[in-house]
Structure 1
Amino acid sequence: MAATGEPNDLSSEMELDAFRRLFPIRFHERHLLESIRPDGRALGRARDTTLMLGAVASANGSALAKIGCTTMLAAIKMEVMTPTAEAPDEGCIAIDFHMPPICSPLVRPGRPAEVAPVISKQLSDTILSSGMINLKELCLVSGKAAWMAYLDIYCLDADGALFDAALLSAVAAFSHLQIPVVSLNDDGRIVLIPDDNSGAMKEKEPVNKEKIKLKLNNLPFSLTCVLHKNYILADPTSEEESIMETFLTVVLDSSFQLVSLNKPGGPGLAHTSAIQDCITLTRQRVKEVQKILQEAISDMEVD
């Protein structure tokens, strides 16, 4: 009896897959009527999220973030620079978001993904406007030397909500960051002291005697929602993003203060209540992600 049923089960599965490909909106709307999504999630629930700090040994700070299948690798490299005349006692942060062809079949070799510079700019604006990092703390010698933090984020799997995962990986990487040991050389210039060369620090005047953590405030976290008719779907997959038009990304800091709202194109929002509902979902998400980040930091300290 079981053997007889197998071809029918396979046929039904193939028919369902064909229906999903040919009529994606109708397929998803059938699920929405039951307040559930094809992957089994409730409409307002984000995908399972994991964080691993210290993913890149050669970086000063790094993290691997996964939201569902969407995967981001963030790495920070610190370099000494001469501060600008306009801000002699401040350092700088440079952020680049990369989408190599391995992350999605939509990204072609030799052609930069159009969304990459947009996300880079959005990340930079969010991190700076949130007040997470006081750039004055990156100053070494006023007017002469300061830190430049190069943050590179690589998308390894682009399965929706790219900004959310990229921002999470960036915040986690800065949480893991250890500022290198530096000293003044005979010419009065700031030089890095290698980890295995503690003797050099004794011969030169140290600026900081040991690696230090960067003080972070108001950590920003985000949640992207898809709005379809009267439904709000949190943390969309790439499939959901490809067939629905209205997106809203809410960024709140760790004190639940609004940092930004971003709605890239699509139809206008019919009701302001939809925005409030998205903010409420983001508040819940911030609580979840804060706990995940704290657990990752605790695991790193134990190791």
Structure 2
Amino acid sequence: MEVDAFRRLFPVHYYERLSKLIRPMLDPRKKPEILLWAVASSDGSALAKIGSATMLAAIKMEVMTPSVYSPSEGSIVVEFHMPPICSPVVRPGRPAEVAPELSLIKGKAAWVAYLYINCLDADGALFNAALLSAVAAFSHLDIPVVSLNDEGRMVMVSKELEGEKRKLLLKSIPFSLTCVLHKNYYILADPTFEEESIMETFITVVLNSSAQLVSLYKPGGQRRKELQEINEAISTMEID
């Protein structure tokens, strides 16, 4: 039987047999690629590709009135989109939103950075590609020039002064690695969508440029499987 046919018919056995022989570490075919300024109308943007997984990040800067509870802090509003075209298993839905912080003028004006991340190809380890696109976009962000108008409000300066835009300095750059786990012994780094779909769970580790742990995320696993089996059993019970 041909190798590709065996992989399609018996994917779990295929990856179990090759886990220690072919790719226990990073896939050399998935070298990250970055294209800067992929969206001309943005204040910063980047297209990131890891293997086939592709993310497009674009940033738009605006001025807002800061919260009375955080007068010296602005915010980053993140929207993550996965359109159906990026994968046959994706269904339309609302974008995810989170909001970290940036600053401008205490109590009067603050920056809000709208970060839009669009998934163009969902071929595994999506967080890695999304984070890479976001970091690349922020690393080359042009912060617009602003000033106070006659009414005392903060406004954007005309495009004639675009040369005065400032760059954002990132003190620490995060990077991530995802591994899929199977039967407590099989670990595969940098997975594709196919590899993710047949494994029990995955783990994503995020470090910064100082090798400090930023976050550790591990959903699923054996405990989650047991809970799912219990819920399924309860749902089939007949109650008098």
Normalised TM-score (structure 1): 0.68
Uncovered stretches (5+) of structure 2, i.e. residues with no partner: 224-240
- Correspondent of 1:44 among 25, 29, 33: 25
Which residue pairs with 1:185 in the alignment? 149
Note the alpha carbon deviations across 1:10-47, whole angstroms, 9 max, x for none: xx54xx444323321112222225x21xxxxx321142
The structure in which a higher percent of residues are strand is 2
1:262 matches 2:217: yes
What secondary structure does 1:256 align onto?
coil
- In the alignment of these two chains, the number of paired residues is 220
Computed over aligned residues only, the root mean square deviation of the Cα atoms, in angstroms, reads: 2.0
Q: Distance in 2 between matches of 1:100 and 1:160?
A: 15
Q: Distance in 1 between matches of 2:193 and 2:60?
A: 30
TM-fit CA distance, 1:194? 2.6
Note the alpha carbon deviations across 1:190-242, whole angstroms, 9 max, x for none: 1111323x4xx9xxxxxxx9211112112111101112242321110000000
TM-fit CA distance, 1:169? 0.7
Q: Distance in 2 between matches of 1:236 and 1:221?
A: 16
1:146 matches 2:103: no
Q: Is the 8 A contact 2:19 2:187 kept in 1?
A: no
Bigger mean CA deviation after superposition, 75-84 or 45-54: 45-54
1:241 matches 2:222: no
Which residue pairs with 2:63 in the alignment? 80
Note the alpha carbon deviations across 1:72-121, whole angstroms, 9 max, x for none: 0000000110000001111111001100111001113xx328xx63xx55
Note the alpha carbon deviations across 1:96-148, whole angstroms, 9 max, x for none: 1100111001113xx328xx63xx55xx6xxx5xxxxx72xx21x32121110
Alignment of 1:50-65 (within 5 A): 50-65=33-48
Q: Distance in 2 between matches of 1:228 and 1:184?
A: 58
Bigger mean CA deviation after superposition, 17-26 or 45-54: 17-26
The structure in which a higher percent of residues are helix is 1
Q: Distance in 1 between matches of 2:203 and 2:24?
A: 15
Which residue pairs with 2:89 in the alignment? 106
- List, as ranges, runs of 4+ consecutive aligned residues in structure 1 with deviation greater than 4 Å: none
Q: Which residue identity lines up with residue 127 of structure 2 in the other structure?
A: F
Note the alpha carbon deviations across 1:29-76, whole angstroms, 9 max, x for none: 22225x21xxxxx32114211111111110001111000000000000
Q: Distance in 2 between matches of 1:65 and 1:153?
A: 10
Q: Which residue identity lines up with residue 213 of structure 2 in the other structure?
A: L
Alignment of 1:169-184 (within 5 A): 169-184=133-148
